[in-house]
Structure 1
């Protein structure tokens, strides 16, 4: 730790980075009963803390290395950080990016002086090409996190926090991807203020540091969710794990997509700044920690690590924020098809605001069977116990109800598809996919399926990300299910089988 602290104290970052402000969050503070402060790394010249580590690494290279240039592989904030840092030092920077990288990110790197090489469909292929070019050209590879000089540059964030807030700090919440920011901050804080906790926060679907700390060694996750793409890393770094294992608080917090969206809204409400999902991860973790630990010993600090957000993603974030904050319940309710049923249903909701109302008539399941209607309804909530009260009231009135508030398929797809059922379909499997947002992605999916496997359902939504959310139904006879699963494995698109999901059964399954 001593060597890391020395490097942090002597890091060269302020030729290009700013000392970002530590802003109060008065509205969130009042709600949590705590003093909440936000470290505004979204205000850096590349809208991310990544400029610190990249510049510190490049500034420390000897003249002969600078003459050969630098190289990295990245489709995100690291790419812009390396490009700008190299430009400030008058060094050639080659940035290898996957061909699937959105044009807005490619142009941002070029605008900062980087020479962009597009290669491969995914990061691993781009990284392999960058390593090949490194060997061929002699350029220095700038790792996004697993490098002592990069870690030291990121650690200056922690040094600034301690200088900016001399009063007690109970905990600093740090978003964790590869672990560079967490390792640097943990090292300097443990050295200067050992009583302050440094707590890593990860998305639940990309918790590589939590898994590594639990196992006592680095592990490789089979796949990671890409919503908070800035921290979607399958394996933490070797050096970052060594430091985090010894210095990071063992209570790594994980948060889901809805909590992250709610945190984006919290940041906006208090600062009028729009954080990227990865940038709001720490705020989401802070809120979860505050709920579990009501006794305060000092301020709670969260790092807003970045603001590189495609505008189109705001639609999805806004949709999910209210659920993530517990201010909206999404319910599937079955009511009888008879006069007065709707009125009685609305009366049970009382004067609560209905945020969404989708209806689908359900055919009787047999001769003499009752005629029912399935309703997908959103209800605004005023206090934490209100959802339970609604569920109890509906169940007490003999209205079957399923809480869909935590059902990913329902929130992503079913709510937009209520009203469409086909005839009786046998052997239908329904899967939720993440498609890469690139030309030919759908064709590749179709070509991976046997011609006799009929597509019965398809729903796609663009969320302004590097991937698309797809729900697909395919007819696959039972004897061919193993071959179907093998085909999906070979395709390589992350997926989840949703055939037994209640949202599908209630609203989309013709055989239900």
Structure 2
């Protein structure tokens, strides 16, 4: 259970003054491609460019700065899939505090290495964040270290709320703010900071469909744990909302929406291509929501890019997944005559249609095939959905039997 005191605008303003020497003022970028899509101005708050690669340093430093000398001497412990770990490790290094971080098995390697690089001790435990958090609490009991919770603490929420102050300063015309949400620390902090000054601004939280604890919890009126989670967005893979952020989300946040894995992949890819910004899947959740339903965002909108710490190997997979989700990969099966030049003729037609062949294989032995037929499996790169339709139409006009 977290510290359940109230967070005020004055608290967040004090935190902003406190963290200004360790956190950078991240840029607010105009997004012409999203603006064109929605028909209204869309800007991106680039917390992926924050120190340690995400907004987490704000809350971690604010929380740890308030520790007494006796508490600092006992050290701190935290549980995190990566971004909170890096925030705690950097804050601890800056304040001269020993830090131990418990990470779930399978946490991204760059996040682990960065956390160790800031001088923290890293221990892997459990499959999910909740497992790591349980072990961190046990460590707290054994050693007396102070637990730095990722989101269920008023000082954490207060620190994250400084993002909201910057949003209003950098985009005073904003009408809607879209925020990735896991446990709810960032979302609740931004909601407090903005609603206290501009109550008419709409605040929307975005969760991964495979790890969306808030919708059911809000329906129930209290935090309800998920029985399972499945998402690439490790930064928002939280199975139980915190008591502290939950109360604020319930009272101040206008809407929680969910996005699919395909939408997250597409958002990572498009943000990389169009904005030239690297974001992790969790950090792209706001962009995914806007891409899914541009008409929903019919007023000046700010999307928060909450983090950019993505494993390069995962980035490669996400790019491929995002291209598939955007209709830029096409998998086909075709039947062609089993005669010399049959495959070459097919490839000529594909080249003429502007499709790039990534992979090709063919099979002659299948009970469904005629004796004079070969089945060809193709993976193609296209320019998008309309180009895909053009390619398919050309193949059918040429008499090929196409099976998608």
TM-score, normalised to structure 2, is 0.85
What per-residue deviation string (whole Å, max 9, x for no partner) do you get for residues 57-94 of structure 1?
A: 11222333233222112240111111121222232222
1:175 pairs, out of 160, 180, 191, with 180
Distance 1:370 1:197 in 2: 63
Q: CA 1:388–1:236 in 2, change beyond 3 Å: closer, same or farther? A: farther
What per-residue deviation string (whole Å, max 9, x for no partner) do you get for residues 454-497 of structure 1?
A: xxxxxxxxxxxxxxxxxxxxxxxxxxxxxxxxxxxxxxxxxxxx
Q: 1:307 aligns to what SS in structure 2?
A: coil
Higher relative contact order (CA 8 A, sep 6+): 2
Distance 2:383 2:185 in 1: 39
Alignment partner, residue 94 of structure 2: 88
RMSD over aligned CA atoms reads: 3.1
Paired residues, number: 395
2:141 pairs, out of 135, 138, 148, with 135
CA contact 2:231–2:261 (8 Å) conserved in 1 = no
Alignment partner, residue 307 of structure 2: 306
Matches of residues 477-492 of structure 1 in structure 2 within 5 Å? Answer: none
1:297 Cα deviation from its structure 2 partner: 2.7
CA contact 1:264–1:275 (8 Å) conserved in 2 = yes
Q: CA 1:369–1:233 in 2, change beyond 3 Å: closer, same or farther? A: farther
Q: CA 1:209–1:368 in 2, change beyond 3 Å: closer, same or farther? A: same
2:189 pairs, out of 184, 188, 196, with 184
Distance 2:115 2:370 in 1: 66
Q: CA 1:201–1:102 in 2, change beyond 3 Å: closer, same or farther? A: closer
2:42 pairs, out of 36, 45, 56, with 36
What per-residue deviation string (whole Å, max 9, x for no partner) do you get for residues 154-180 of structure 1?
A: 11101110011122x232111111111
Distance 1:146 1:117 in 2: 21
Work out whether 1:5 is the aligned partner of 2:6. no
1:103 Cα deviation from its structure 2 partner: 5.5
Q: 2:91 aligns to what SS in structure 1?
A: helix
Alignment partner, residue 276 of structure 1: 280
1:144 Cα deviation from its structure 2 partner: 0.3
1:17 Cα deviation from its structure 2 partner: 1.1
Q: CA 1:344–1:206 in 2, change beyond 3 Å: closer, same or farther? A: same
Distance 1:265 1:367 in 2: 39
1:184 Cα deviation from its structure 2 partner: 1.1
1:200 pairs, out of 193, 198, 205, with 205
CA contact 2:28–2:46 (8 Å) conserved in 1 = yes
Q: CA 1:226–1:51 in 2, change beyond 3 Å: closer, same or farther? A: same
CA contact 1:361–1:374 (8 Å) conserved in 2 = yes
Unaligned runs of 5+ in 1: 403-512
Alignment partner, residue 70 of structure 1: 76
Q: Which moved more, 1:121-130 or 1:392-401?
A: 392-401
CA contact 2:191–2:203 (8 Å) conserved in 1 = yes
What per-residue deviation string (whole Å, max 9, x for no partner) do you get for residues 381-423 of structure 1?
A: 45x5454565567678572423xxxxxxxxxxxxxxxxxxxxx
Q: CA 1:91–1:176 in 2, change beyond 3 Å: closer, same or farther? A: same
Distance 1:366 1:258 in 2: 33
CA contact 2:266–2:288 (8 Å) conserved in 1 = yes
Q: Which moved more, 1:229-238 or 1:312-321?
A: 312-321
CA contact 1:173–1:199 (8 Å) conserved in 2 = yes
1:350 Cα deviation from its structure 2 partner: 5.7
1:215 Cα deviation from its structure 2 partner: 4.6
Alignment partner, residue 239 of structure 1: 244
TM-score, normalised to structure 1, is 0.69
1:121 Cα deviation from its structure 2 partner: 6.1
Alignment partner, residue 51 of structure 2: 45
What per-residue deviation string (whole Å, max 9, x for no partner) do you get for residues 218-239 of structure 1?
A: 3332322241111112222222
1:146 Cα deviation from its structure 2 partner: 1.3
Alignment partner, residue 316 of structure 1: 317
Work out whether 1:111 is the aligned partner of 2:117. yes
Distance 1:308 1:225 in 2: 19
Distance 1:79 1:47 in 2: 11
CA contact 2:6–2:154 (8 Å) conserved in 1 = no
Distance 1:69 1:348 in 2: 63
Distance 1:99 1:336 in 2: 47
Matches of residues 93-492 of structure 1 in structure 2 within 5 Å? Answer: 93-98=99-104, 101=107, 104-119=110-125, 123-167=129-173, 169-250=174-255, 252-290=256-294, 292-293=295-296, 296-298=298-300, 300-326=301-327, 328-339=328-339, 343=345, 347=349, 351-365=353-367, 371-382=373-384, 384-387=385-388, 399-402=401-404
If each structure's helix is expressed as a fraction of its own residues, which one has the higher value?
A: 2
Q: CA 1:395–1:145 in 2, change beyond 3 Å: closer, same or farther? A: farther
